[in-house]
Amino acid sequence: MALLEIQGVTRRFGDFTAVDDVSLAIEAGEFFTLLGPSGCGKTTLLRMIAGFDLPDGGRILLNGDDLADRPPEARPVRTVFQSYALFPHMTVEGNVAFPLKMAKTPGGEIAGKIAEALDDVRLAGFGKRYPHELSGGQKQRVAIARALVTHPTVLLLDEPLAALDAKLREDMQIELINLQKEVGITFVYVTHDQTEALALSHRIAVMNRGKVEQVDAPSRIYGFPRTAFVADFIGQCNLLSGPVTASEGGVVTVDVAGLGAVRAAAAAAPAIGAQGTIALRPEKVRIGVDANAARDDNRVSGKVADLLYMGDVTVYKVTTPGGLRVEALLANSQSGRAKFFEVDDAVEMSWPVDAGHFIAG
Amino acid sequence: MAARPSERWGKWLVSGPPLAYLLVFFAAPTLIMVLASFRSPGEFGGLAPFFGDDGAPDLNLESYARFFTETVYAQVFVKSLWYALITTLFCLALAYPLAALIATSPRKYRDLLLLLVILPFWSNFLIRVYAWMIILGPNAAMARAVNGMLAYVGAGPVPLLFSSFAVLVCLVYVHLPFMVLPLYANLEKHDRALLDAAQDLGANAWQRFWRITFPLSLPGVYAGAALVFIPALGIFAIPDILGGPNDTLIGNLIKQQFLETRDWPFGSVLSIVLTIAALALAGLAAWIGRRSAGGGGPARA
């Protein structure tokens, strides 16, 4: 049995169903992420695990015990809040000592545990400071130390890095991964940032409109999105839709308007005539000027409509003669050169069969 | 960076009139009072002529000596401090739940509830004090109910009016809004997430109040306490109207000296001692406030 089981949990606010019959099983020691756009229900689900909100239907089990009757203070679950919620009238030590005092930890053990927790988040020596004397990243670490000091069964993190700047966020991501490995506590992490989710998690549950669209390892979420929403939400993706015209040996052919027949790999064989979508990552599309150089199965010519220089890569938005837009991505391996093509350049795009991923529906 | 001349003049243009007002109507009278406290009372009240028959200036410490040697004045002083303290504590005990209720009620009702708190200010202070005469009067329902119950257990009837009870009830009533408003202003700004965090970290409702809400509300408590304690210390109308013979407070004494006995020097001494005591207590409260805020803690009004 999984450590934390969410069974058919539903939460409604008036006419709005924030969480719609969600079932998840989160294993001990896992770094599990709830990923989705704002309003998808991920924070509501987190608040129900913490006990600040109660499900209208379904159950939440921790180690097999139903948590329904236990208020937040009686759950072995701790939350790192988005706003950090550090107590402004207490020092860093006072903040970290708070849960220990609430748990009636013997006075002699408190100092040692505080030191250990602050050491874990690399804040040794900051104990006497007040929250307003700390930077955003330091506040974040205090919030994590405070939540971890009593060794909870599950740590819930509600967009903890959202308020940090990009560089610091990356550092904190690496620290979070190491910290989770070190303490071995199950992390349930909420974010709307897909790169963060991919970088941190063992498994990701992608949520949309209160429902879980897919639960999988990051590489599978990215490589084999089960729905068009997942494909579109995680990274950039060309979604090529149309009816299935052939299906044979794990390869389907979809007739895409404005592009023609596109062949892609499929896990299951769809019925001929059924609607389908091929998810094609821009980095898998080869782009060049010479049509003969490409020996891939899928080939299309077009004209560069827009380009976006990102430093490491340049994104080309190519319009096909049929009027469809396809994104292709080219690494700028040659330094000092921003782009290989200009707007209005005629280009040839191609990609192998296994570059595309077929999604039914 | 140095201010431009026009900015400097602008500053004085704005802050000059209120400053002048305070100088003329507060600083000057205070100075006159300080001078008067070192003078002798006149034969028919007021002050004796500054240059007496012997031509020596009339400056002495006799009124101060009188205050510090006749214990009755110190007793009245201590009683006034005691009444003010009790008033402050009762106001705090009543105002805190009220302010918390308003601060946590839906935003659309808050203005209405605040309006109700300040509604008493719309009628005259003395009229409200006289109203208590009727409420506490011997033939009113309250006195009858209390004395009826006392008679039931075999105790004699007690007068509610013209007693310390009446004075304290009215003191608390009059000063309650001054405690509610600063407390509300403080509690309204509290971050709900802090209580969620405390609960998440294992604190029950009681612990959440005493460890989070109350310490963070201390600036509001101190502000309210100062706004209640200092006026309550100098009040004279309430004991005059509702008090018994033993309810003379320092405010009554000062009023007596100026209006009845017409001993201006002694009245000035009493006023100065009262002012200094109030300042000392306010300073002490501020000092305690800074210490309990934990050295570098952010001050929140």
pLDDT for B216: 94
CA distance A189 to chain B (A): 16
Q: Can you name the residues that pair with A58 across neighbouring β-strands?
A: none
Interface with chain B: mutation pick from A87, A126, A129, A130, highest number of B CBs within 10 Å: A87
Closest Cβ–Cβ partner in A78, A103, A132 for B200: A78
Is A73 in Cβ contact with B204 (below 8 Å)?
Answer: yes
In A54-126, which residue ranges form alpha helices assigned H by DSSP? Answer: 92-102, 107-120
CA distance A64 to chain B (A): 21
Tell whether A285 lies on the interface with B, counting CB pairs under 8 A: no
d(CA B159, CA B150): 12
Closest C-alpha to B270, from B280, B255, B284: B255
Is A98 in Cβ contact with B201 (below 8 Å)?
Answer: yes
- pLDDT confidence bin for A244, thresholds 50/70/90: very high
CA distance A127 to chain B (A): 13
pLDDT for A334: 67
Q: What is the mean pLDDT of chain A?
A: 91
Residue A279: DSSP 8-state = E
- Please give the average per-residue pLDDT across A37-53, as a whole number: 94
Question: Integer distance in angstroms from the first to the last C-alpha of chain A?
Answer: 33
- pLDDT confidence bin for A299, thresholds 50/70/90: confident
Q: Point out the residues of chain B with pLDDT beneath 50.
A: 295-301
Span A349-358, pLDDT tens digits: 889 888 889 9
Q: Can you name the residues that pair with A188 across neighbouring β-strands?
A: A32, A156
Describe the strand order of the beta sheet including A203-208 as a list of residue ranges.
Answer: A77-80, A154-158, A186-191, A31-35, A203-208, A211-216
**Between vectors from CA A244 to CA A239 and to CA A245, what angle results, nearest 5°?**
130
pLDDT for A287: 86
Chain B residues close to A77, C-beta within 8 Å: 200
d(CA A167, CA A314): 21
Chain A residues close to B220, C-beta within 8 Å: none
Q: Which helix (H) or strand (E) holds B91?
A: helix B71-104
Q: Structure pTM?
A: 0.82
- Please give the average per-residue pLDDT across A272-276, as a whole number: 89
A63 CB-contact burial (10 Å; exposed 0-12 / middle 13-18 / buried 19+): middle
d(CA A209, CA A19): 8
Q: In this predicted complex, what is the ipTM?
A: 0.84
Residue of B nearest to A143 (CA): B197
Span A181-231, pLDDT tens digits: 999 999 999 999 999 999 999 999 999 999 999 999 999 999 899 999 999
d(CA A185, CA B172): 54
pLDDT for B43: 81
Tell whether A318 lies on the interface with B, counting CB pairs under 8 A: no
Tell whether A163 lies on the interface with B, counting CB pairs under 8 A: no
Span A74-116, pLDDT tens digits: 999 999 999 999 999 999 999 999 999 999 999 899 999 999 9
- List Cβ neighbours of A125 (8 Å cut-off, separation of 6 or more): none
Q: Can you name the residues that pair with A171 across neighbouring β-strands?
A: none
pLDDT for A17: 94
**Read out DSSP for A151-182?**
--SEEEEESTTTTS-HHHHHHHHHHHHHHHHH
pLDDT for A112: 94
